[in-house]
Amino acid sequence: MEVDKFYSGPTFVKPVKQVAIPPRTVRWVKVTTTPHQLFEDTTFVGNPKLLKHYKLMVSDFVLGPGERKFIQITNLSNKQQEVNLELNLAVDSEYEEIFYPFPEEVSSVEVQDNVQEKFEFNLNEELTEEQKQKAMELLRKYSHVFVSHVSELKRCKYPPIKIDYDKTKVVRQRNYRMSPDEKDFVENYIKDHLKADLVEYCTSVYSTPILVVKKPNHTKDNPSFRLVQDFRKTNKILTDIKYPIPDQQELIDSFQGKYWHSVTDNCSGYTQLTLHPSCRDITAFDSPSGSRLRWKGMPQGLSVAPALYALAMDHLLMKMKKMKKVLNYFDDTHIGTETFEQHLEVLEEYFQLLEEFDIKLNIKKSTFFQKKVTFLGLELDGKTVSVSRKRIDAIRKIKPPQNKDQLRSVLGIFNYNRKFIKSYTTIAQPLNELLKQEVEFEWTDSQQNAFDQIKNILSNPPSLRLYNPKSNNRVCGDASYQGLGCSLYQQDPDTKRYAPVAFAGRKLKDSEKKLPIYYLECAALVYAFVVFRCYLQNRNVETEVLTDHQSLQSLLSTDKPEGPIAKHIMFLSEFKFTIKYRPGKKNLDADTLSRHPVEETENTVDEMVDELFPERVQQSSYVNPVTTRGQLAKEQKAEEQAKLLDLRNEAEDNSEILNFVLNKSSIVRDLQQSDQELAVIIQQLQEQTEDREDPNFKLKDGLLYRKHDNKLLIVVPRSCRKYILAEFHDNRGHRRHKHLMENILTTFWWQTINKDALTYVQSCHFCMTTENNPMMKPGFLKPVTPKRMFSDISCDFVGEFKASKNKNKHFCVIVDAYTKYMWTKPVKTADTVNAIQCLEEFTLSYGICDTYTSDSASYFTSFVFQEMLSKWDVFHNAFRKIPHCNGQCERSIQSLKKILCEFLLQFEEDWESYLQLATFFYNINYHDTIKCSPFYAVHGFHPVVPGILQLLPASEEKLNIQIKNHTNFLENLKSRIELAQAKTKEYYDKGRKQVTYSIGQLVRVKNEADDLSWPNKKVNWIGPYKVVGKKSSHFYYVMVQEKDSQGGQREVVKEYHLINMRPYNERPPELIT
């Protein structure tokens, strides 16, 4: 049959004969066109579905009339693939978006797509390579259950939900007024939901108003809105539905013993449920353009929606929840297991369930295979629970309330987190008093102090232990005439220490305030068992009750209980526990020093110190790697230290150091009198000398105190100071100098406390290796002035972005340091091949450069790339982990991204289609450094831009003048660059200092374990190591240690930049414990 010359339609390319392509192999396959011939050269685009189903990749190519051409086909899979005669390999580029029909047997082939990831999954960075591979295989297998935008949604297969309502009443309201931006947002919102079949056009008599609210991340430059439907009147005609919401504390307790976590979020969970057609009319609303629509999925805002959604999710997850494999709170689902392998199995079962009901997850809000996750605003792992960082930041921003309504909102936030605050009721009492009706709102110092105290506690909240039904319990109750408080602790099976599980408290009733303290202490104990009943009604573990009220020990053995005590005893008889008396609370109050006198003994200073601080030697944070000038002094005391070590090894609890001090006041008194400086002060106080240098010293019960901030503090003798520093710093979180000093000054004082605390912290090995403080980088700026146009260029790849129509995900940027001229090119991947091609194309246009600056990515440091630069005699500056050394390119990329974003926000099209236009606009804009546009600096004239009024054409004489002026401009351009660099250097160097290191000096260097994160990467700095050489003012050679192939250590000399080095401070001998 003769083919019509004017036939219009798609032209496909198919193989001439069947070909078998081995795995990971490229084959040349002869192809032909169908269903008609070609009459001109035509560009064909490879079929993307081949990549998805067969993992066969076909590059774009051109065919001429009557031509049978060989094309390259790459088999990316691990098995042989058959290219049969029915496969459409490519299509005419004009019909690129066409749907490609496939034979039935092809569609049943399940091939995992390892070439291109549809989504970027939020995985735990600490996974091993094997674990990561297994996790990605599972997520790729079920990638179809994830969506990234509402337009990809569709209603799930759960039975339609029917809502009962009063059909005799009609709700009809008109829309609120909207701004143009809000109207555009609503129209786009409706367009996306129509595409997803979540709404439909209707003629309903109902109509509820819609309004647009700003999201928290809304900004003027980047507006972000949310559509809200006002169902307040509609909710009044709905039949109410009651369904229990999951208890949050019970959900949190279920995390115990589970060390692998995944949290998923249903994308627009409500709207995935289908509404029954009989009740869709009540959800109708009007668009800004005047059309009326109604929901096919269940919208948010209906009063019955939460109950119906919770019911549906419980029904779907019923089987897995019974097996305790998952738990959910509305659209948030948590999967927790003990081992990684169990997690894979449970997660696959969960995905299969989602697949069965066609439920979609939000990829952006889902996280997988984590050791710690955020759930319900809390950070949880298998052992502890703490307030999430996001919530802590929100609490820190809370401002003091201005009226009672604001106070109720603030107390609502505080009450939600009250279990993290010990004695919350007592602390918050001034705030609660303001809520009484008869009390006027007056914000005084007492309310401000309570407000600040709660904020400070919640800004650094403790990590509570998750309740373990197999661990022993400890209950502490306390009562005052302000309220009752209690706390629950559990014993760690490994360390045998008790950690807090929860705190609770309540205010006293008016009738209770008249009762004696004995009744209140008993009431506090009963309150603890009421609050923690679900934990304490466990007869398989021991429960210990600690009290500082001794009479409660005989509580349960009372022969004839009467009054309220009888009722309490009857209630407590249900529980199994023992009561232990603890004489006084363990605190740091200096006044308790005089409560427990100890008889004097004639011990030496070292023996008395040893008795007070028996554990200090083995807990020191100081590391002495090499012999220093202080080594001689330490060797002189070696015999004394050995004697101390034997005694100190007997200590069991390192946290009880202050109890030694407080319980042995006579030893402290003797140590003060043995100190020469303190002995003089004590003698002056005993003789009541009037001309004392410091009148703040006091002598009380033989102990020397000093008044500081209206408090009496114990004066610490020189022999004990290092142990006090070690206790407050090493055993209490290694706080900074200021915090260390303030903590010590709550109980102790000595003359040089500021200097000693600073020296101790600066020489702490742990602090030096884990330091992560934002600070000014050392060293001054050293700018390099380019010699001529295109002699010094900088290059970098930007991406990865969403794939463009041409399947590109990156673009290459090359910037000339002399004219600031930018050149860009989109590429599919950032690799060596594209790096070479981009540099060759740039060179063909502008010539070979003298210096090529980039980062140390593998494609820039590969052998092939370096070989090409060597042949061209190009010097390569490849800076490793020092971004500012390639600052010319980095800064230009920022400007280009801003221009590109403006186009995408305005037109919302493919980013690649605007890349060259954005580059052009960058080049024609004025640049501060060169005082003109990069385009003019290169070409000597300003370009003609469409839509801009142009000047009259210049005459030949004026053209010659322009050429001459451009020549002069290029000659003066170097001086302009030098002037700009001088200003930049002045700003950069302000507040910095030039750090230098000498040969043999001890330093610590940046930990380069990039593939690790906390807690595997426990230190940010490693050392100490010796400086063995100097390359330049900014680079040094350091002798470091690293593992060899046999697992041992070997010394290697490495090159380090100043910003990756810090000095290592040696601790003075007098502060070494």
Gap between the Cα atoms of 588 and 659, Å rounded: 8
pLDDT at 735 over 80: no
pLDDT category at 642 given cuts 50, 70, 90 is very low
Handedness of CA 133, 137, 138, 139 (dihedral sign): positive
Gap between the Cα atoms of 820 and 405, Å rounded: 57
- The tokens describing 1036, both together, are 């040094």
pLDDT category at 838 given cuts 50, 70, 90 is very high
638 in helix, strand or coil? helix
| pLDDT at 1014 (0 to 100) | 45
Question: 928 exposed, middle or buried (CB, 10 Å; 0-12, 13-18, 19+)?
Answer: exposed
Mean pLDDT of 410-416: 84
pLDDT category at 656 given cuts 50, 70, 90 is very low
Task: Quote the percentage of the chain above a pLDDT of 90.
Answer: 10
Which amino acid does the sequence have at 782?
Answer: K
| pLDDT per position as a tens digit, 12-38 | 788 888 888 888 777 888 888 877 667
Mean pLDDT of 832-837: 92
pLDDT at 666 over 90: no
pLDDT at 44 over 90: no
Gap between the Cα atoms of 1037 and 1060, Å rounded: 12
Gap between the Cα atoms of 284 and 302, Å rounded: 12
Gap between the Cα atoms of 424 and 415, Å rounded: 9
| pLDDT at 1053 (0 to 100) | 83
- The tokens describing 1027, both together, are 């400086």
* Nearest Cα to Cα of residue 102 among 87, 89, 85: 87
| pLDDT at 691 (0 to 100) | 62
pLDDT category at 616 given cuts 50, 70, 90 is very low
Which amino acid does the sequence have at 20?
Answer: A
Gap between the Cα atoms of 235 and 304, Å rounded: 8
- Could you give phi then psi for residue 1063, rounded to 5 degrees? -70, 150
| pLDDT at 833 (0 to 100) | 92
Cα-only R_g, the chain: 38
The second-level CATH assignment, the architecture, of 591-615+651-762 is Orthogonal Bundle (1.10)
Under CATH, to which class is 150-382 assigned? Answer: alpha beta
> Which of left, alpha, beta for 169 (phi over 0: left; psi -120 to 50: alpha)?
beta
> Which of left, alpha, beta for 671 (phi over 0: left; psi -120 to 50: alpha)?
alpha
Mean pLDDT of 897-907: 79
- The tokens describing 782, both together, are 């050293």
| pLDDT per position as a tens digit, 857-875 | 888 888 889 989 988 999 8
684 in helix, strand or coil? helix
Q: Scan for tokens 């930007």, then name that residue.
A: 798
Find the helix or strand (DSSP H, E) in which 234 lies. helix 232-235
pLDDT category at 398 given cuts 50, 70, 90 is confident
Gap between the Cα atoms of 788 and 930, Å rounded: 13
| pLDDT at 631 (0 to 100) | 39
Beta strands in 148-278 (DSSP E): 199-201, 210-214, 225-229, 260-265
Gap between the Cα atoms of 472 and 541, Å rounded: 5
Gap between the Cα atoms of 957 and 237, Å rounded: 85
Q: Model pTM?
A: 0.46
- The tokens describing 31, both together, are 């192809």
| pLDDT at 628 (0 to 100) | 34
* Nearest Cα to Cα of residue 206 among 151, 240, 163: 163
| pLDDT at 635 (0 to 100) | 40
Instruction: Give 130's contacts (C-beta < 8 A, 6+ positions apart).
Output: none
- Could you give phi then psi for residue 146, rounded to 5 degrees? -110, 145
Of residues 356 and 990, more confidence is placed in: 356
- The tokens describing 411, both together, are 């107390």
Gap between the Cα atoms of 726 and 741, Å rounded: 12
Strand partners, 1049: 1043
Question: 176 exposed, middle or buried (CB, 10 Å; 0-12, 13-18, 19+)?
Answer: exposed
| pLDDT at 102 (0 to 100) | 38
pLDDT at 530 over 80: yes
Handedness of CA 855, 861, 865, 869 (dihedral sign): positive
| pLDDT at 1015 (0 to 100) | 46
Domain 792-945+955-968 superfamily per CATH:
Ribonuclease H-like superfamily/Ribonuclease H (3.30.420.10)
* Nearest Cα to Cα of residue 208 among 185, 242, 237: 237
How does DSSP classify residue 364?
Answer: G
pLDDT category at 619 given cuts 50, 70, 90 is very low
- What does pLDDT average to over the chain? 77
Gap between the Cα atoms of 694 and 749, Å rounded: 14
Of residues 881 and 429, more confidence is placed in: 429
- Length of the chain, please? 1073
**Sheet harboring 792-799: ordered strands across?**
822-827, 810-816, 792-799, 851-855, 875-879
Three-state secondary structure readout of 253-306? HCCCCCCEEEEEEECCHHHHCEECHHHCHHHCEECCCCCEEEECECCCCCCCHH
CB atoms within 10 A of CB 13: 25
Structural contact between residues 301 and 292, judged by C-beta atoms closer than 8 angstroms:
no
Mean pLDDT of 685-704: 76
Beta strands in 680-721 (DSSP E): 697-700, 703-708, 711-715
365 in helix, strand or coil? helix
| pLDDT at 835 (0 to 100) | 93
Mean pLDDT of 110-120: 46
- The tokens describing 1053, both together, are 């000399």
Mean pLDDT of 192-205: 88
Gap between the Cα atoms of 841 and 989, Å rounded: 38
Cα distances from 793 to residues 116, 876, 889, 929, in angstroms, run 32, 10, 9, 16
Domain residue limits, the chain: 12-107, 150-382, 387-581, 591-615+651-762, 792-945+955-968
Per-position b or e across 216-251, b if 16+ CB within 10 A of its CB: eeeeeeebebebebbbeebbebbeeeeeeebeeeeb
Of residues 861 and 784, more confidence is placed in: 861
Mean pLDDT of 964-985: 69
Gap between the Cα atoms of 90 and 169, Å rounded: 59
Under CATH, to which class is 387-581 assigned? Answer: alpha beta
For 436-502, the DSSP string reads STTS-----HHHHHHHHHHHHHHHSPPPEEPP-TTS-EEEEEEE-SSEEEEEEEEE-TTT--EEEEE
Helix axes 832-846, 863-871, angle to 10 degrees: 20
| pLDDT at 15 (0 to 100) | 86
pLDDT at 238 over 90: yes
Domain 12-107 superfamily per CATH:
Deoxyuridine triphosphatase (dUTPase) (2.70.40.10)
